[in-house]
Amino acid sequence: MKRREFIILTSIGATGATLSACGNPENKLIPALIPDEEYVPGLDYWKSTSCEMCQAGCGLLVRTREHKANKIEGNPQHPVNRGSLCARGQAAVQSLYNPDRIEGPLRRAGERGSGRFENISWEEAFEELTAKLGEIKSRKESVGFLTGDASGVTGLAAEILASSLDNGRLIDAHGLNDLWIRAGYENAYHQPIIPSFDIANARYLISFGARFLETWRSPVSDSLAFGEFRGAAIRGKFVQVEPRMSLTAANADEWLPAAVGTESMIALALAQVIVREGLSKIPIQQNAFSLDDYAPEKTESATGIGAEKIIRIAREFASSQPALAIGSGTSVIEQQADAEAGLKRIEAIHLLNKIAGNEEKPGGVLLPLPGIDPFAKWRGKGRWLPLTGKSISGLSALLIHQSNPVFAIPHTADAIKSVPLIVSFSSFPDETSQIADLVLPDHTWFEGWNIKAAPSVKSGAVVNLTQPVVSPQLNTKQTADALLAVARSMGISPPFENAEEMTQQAASEIAKVAGATDAEEFRASFTERGFWTGKPGRIKGGSTPKSSSSEVIDEVASLAKQGHASEFPFILLTYEHPSLGFGNQANLPALQELPDPMTGVIWGSWVEINPQTANKLGVADGDLVEVETPHGSLKAPAVVYAAIRPEVIAMPFGQGHASMGRYAENRGANPATINPVAAALQSDTAAVRAKITKLSEQAAHIRFGTTLPERPHIER
């Protein structure tokens, strides 16, 4: 007979344990039936996995007790985050137990967009989806697969299912951003790669708008590197160049509030001083810029930064080796020439690294070796396209996973709504799932399997394992399993039964790269640690979308609209929210109530305005204002913010959801609707011309440490 133990649940009040009368006792004696000898009530079990809250690839340890996940910490052995963790990672467990999760498969029961659905079984869902895909195939029409996990198990499962159709179209939700960044760095370093930057070992750092302590690339890894940069025997100096002071700029030794779009001019002015004074120890080869045109004496009126300051910083940069420049600056993109210039600005900024001669050196630019794709053995020849209106057009069905384009990239909404069959695999009732015909809810990543390469570190390649730390809490299925099941129904025989088998076989391929003699032993170690790191081997390639720079420029330019300065006298900077990102974490209350580090705002949106501008417009802190661009308008409370240029206003992404659950809905406004270029690129770099008007309506302004005019609590 198995042991029978008991857990006492006690409610602790201000004076200790309390008892409740009226037949509703607070103390309950609950029997804990022991399913196996490994489970002991009251003991913690820590399980390793990988964070999927962003693309940084941090390693996690999840504490479980009584088969429930209740705490997340960074994995101290993981080379990316080395035991540290950001606020998003700490709050991730709230996605697992969120009360607004979709509990099982749904079929639309009303008009599209009405939000009316009926519960169905998984068998009904698979049968209906298979039948409809079969009809589309018989008509030789196209089916699109849109996912934010193109390089993981879902991407491979989508490729397998697409192979069963005549016209399967693969769409990467992150593809356009990836292509834009690669195109910019290819101009600078003449390789189609995204380099790494050794901040830790630099002695002088200039950042052109890279908010690396908040959201840029891998903020946990970069914050650790910055700590080493500051804590070295020779304390490094840090200069931040950007129109608005971010948290990163607040940690700099100097902040240069350059005019929007002039960061590259400052970089070229620095380069011009270094060259003309013979301060570079590296012979300067012919480059694409005429440096004499960018002397600081000629650029100071345009940039707003004095020539003396530029000359001093140039001398410091040249003499404080190793010196490093990062970032890509900002651009106001109103036509194709602006998009082309945006990529050229990246090359101009990184000319400083050429002059410093810091490529492939400690404290400099590290050009990564070819990466590892654990699924290279099974990849098809399908090309992954970036998410654009063009890649969606002409589809008869669209299957959407780990992406909410109707909210995040609203200019694609009309194209999506025109697709006859929409299938969402969202775990939450977001804007995209609300217009779906079928909703087949995915597991959270606490309940599923995945394996994919993380960004490389100095020691080499990193491959992360995501594995279940708890059993599925609801009637959900991992999307990769669902796609494989439908593929089998379509007559395909996949080489995998499910996502777990996919990760196991991929781990065996990694074992070959690692030179392991015992694949089983390697997989056991890999599972226990949650990651593998080593030199890249023969498993290369991946699902990175391949497009030319001209295609990316054309797509970005197609979203631009001309705004005349007389009508739109200000420039709006839209930036990624430090904790809510671009809005995909807005349904986590721990992040909603986390104050913005620079303004203290919680549970809503805001517009930052310089005090001089606010005085001219008669705007006080907390007033409701309307921001209008050539693309549309929105309303939000004003924050009078001294650390921003007078001609610039700023607003974070993250809020403005019409759907996504009680914690996210009807909070603030979505700036993606008025800056579609920045939304499409999922980037801070693209600004837009704007005008701002004070309104007579009352604003709901919630700031930490002040009297709250409204309660953020929402009841359901």
pLDDT of residue 191: 83
CATH of the domain at 165: 3.40.50.740
Task: Specify whether 506 is located in the same domain as 567.
Answer: no
Task: Specify whether 40 is located in the same domain as 11.
Answer: yes
What does the pLDDT look like over 616-633, one tens digit per residue? 999 999 999 999 999 999
pLDDT of residue 706: 62
User: CA-CA distance, 412 to 409, in Å (whole number)?
Assistant: 6
Q: Is residue 701 part of a domain?
A: no
Task: Specify whether 567 is located in the same domain as 605.
Answer: yes
Stronger pLDDT, 37 or 172, i.e. the higher one? 172
What does the pLDDT look like over 102-132, one tens digit per residue? 999 999 999 999 989 999 999 999 999 999 9
Residue found under tokens 């490093």: 324
In this prediction, residues 431-437 reach a mean pLDDT of 97
What is the chain's mean pLDDT, rounded? 89
Task: Specify whether 428 is located in the same domain as 457.
Answer: yes
**Is the pLDDT reported for residue 198 higher than 60?**
yes
User: CA-CA distance, 605 to 599, in Å (whole number)?
Assistant: 11
Give every strand in the sheet of 117-119, ordered side by side. 117-119, 106-108, 438-439, 421-424, 395-401, 142-147, 168-172, 384-386
pLDDT of residue 384: 93
In this prediction, residues 202-223 reach a mean pLDDT of 96
Tokens for 153? Answer: 């198990």
Task: Specify whether 416 is located in the same domain as 354.
Answer: no
Stronger pLDDT, 186 or 4, i.e. the higher one? 186
Structural contact between residues 691 and 568, judged by C-beta atoms closer than 8 angstroms: yes
Q: Is residue 208 part of a domain?
A: yes
Q: Is residue 291 part of a domain?
A: yes
Strands 16-17 and 59-65: unpaired
User: CA-CA distance, 667 to 653, in Å (whole number)?
Assistant: 12
**Is the pLDDT reported for residue 711 higher than 80?**
no
Cis preceding linkage at 322, omega within 30: yes
User: CA-CA distance, 131 to 71, in Å (whole number)?
Assistant: 43
pLDDT of residue 539: 54
In this prediction, residues 389-412 reach a mean pLDDT of 95
User: CA-CA distance, 604 to 637, in Å (whole number)?
Assistant: 9
Domain count, the chain: 4
Task: Specify whether 413 is located in the same domain as 486.
Answer: yes
Q: Is residue 213 part of a domain?
A: yes
- pLDDT-based confidence at residue 5 (cuts at 50, 70, 90): very low
CATH of the domain at 315: 3.40.228.10
What interhelical angle do 153-162 and 499-514 show, nearest 10? Answer: 110
Task: Specify whether 527 is located in the same domain as 397.
Answer: yes
pLDDT of residue 536: 64
Least confident of 333-347, 356-370, 529-543: 529-543
pLDDT above 90 covers a percentage of the chain that reads 75
Task: Specify whether 392 is located in the same domain as 498.
Answer: yes
In this prediction, residues 83-112 reach a mean pLDDT of 96
- End-to-end C-alpha distance for the chain, whole angstroms: 44
In this prediction, residues 152-172 reach a mean pLDDT of 94
Q: Is residue 504 part of a domain?
A: yes
Element (H, E) at 310: helix 307-319
User: CA-CA distance, 436 to 442, in Å (whole number)?
Assistant: 14
**Is the pLDDT reported for residue 31 higher than 90?**
no
Q: Is residue 706 part of a domain?
A: no
Least confident of 334-338, 361-365, 541-545, 549-553: 541-545
What does the pLDDT look like over 530-565, one tens digit per residue? 999 987 655 554 444 455 677 888 889 899 998 899
pLDDT of residue 23: 44
pLDDT of residue 547: 52
User: Which among 649, 153, 137, 640 has a CA at the least distance from the CA of 373?
Assistant: 153
Task: Specify whether 580 is located in the same domain as 681.
Answer: yes
Helix, coil or strand: residue 355: helix
pLDDT of residue 121: 98
Stronger pLDDT, 703 or 254, i.e. the higher one? 254
Structural contact between residues 72 and 61, judged by C-beta atoms closer than 8 angstroms: yes
Q: Is residue 708 part of a domain?
A: no
**Is the pLDDT reported for residue 390 higher than 60?**
yes
**Is the pLDDT reported for residue 414 higher than 60?**
yes
Q: Residue 230: how many CB atoms within 10 A of its CB?
A: 14
Task: Specify whether 353 is located in the same domain as 377.
Answer: no
CATH of the domain at 68: 2.20.25
Task: Specify whether 139 is located in the same domain as 273.
Answer: no
pLDDT above 70 covers a percentage of the chain that reads 90
Tell me the three-class secondary structure of 94-144, residue by residue. Answer: HHHCCCCCCCCCEEECCCCCCCCEEECCHHHHHHHHHHHHHHHHHCCCEEE
User: Which among 611, 590, 591, 608 has a CA at the least distance from the CA of 599?
Assistant: 608
Q: Is residue 509 part of a domain?
A: yes
In this prediction, residues 644-654 reach a mean pLDDT of 98
What pTM does this model have?
A: 0.90
In this prediction, residues 500-508 reach a mean pLDDT of 96
pLDDT of residue 485: 97
User: CA-CA distance, 536 to 371, in Å (whole number)?
Assistant: 6
Least confident of 3-17, 144-158, 203-217, 296-310: 3-17
pLDDT of residue 584: 94
**Is the pLDDT reported for residue 152 higher than 60?**
yes
pLDDT of residue 470: 95
User: CA-CA distance, 592 to 554, in Å (whole number)?
Assistant: 36
CA angle 45, 49, 55 (to 5 degrees): 150
pLDDT of residue 510: 92
Task: Specify whether 300 is located in the same domain as 205.
Answer: yes
**Of 366, 401, 416, which residue sits at a domain end?**
366
- pLDDT-based confidence at residue 610 (cuts at 50, 70, 90): very high
CATH of the domain at 655: 2.40.40.20
| Alpha-carbon distance values, 340 to 331, 551, 614 (Å) | 10, 11, 34
**Is the pLDDT reported for residue 203 higher than 50?**
yes
In this prediction, residues 655-674 reach a mean pLDDT of 96
Instruction: Identify the domain containing residue 271 by its residue range.
Output: 195-366
**Is the pLDDT reported for residue 14 higher than 50?**
no
What does the pLDDT look like over 443-469, one tens digit per residue? 999 999 999 998 877 767 899 999 999
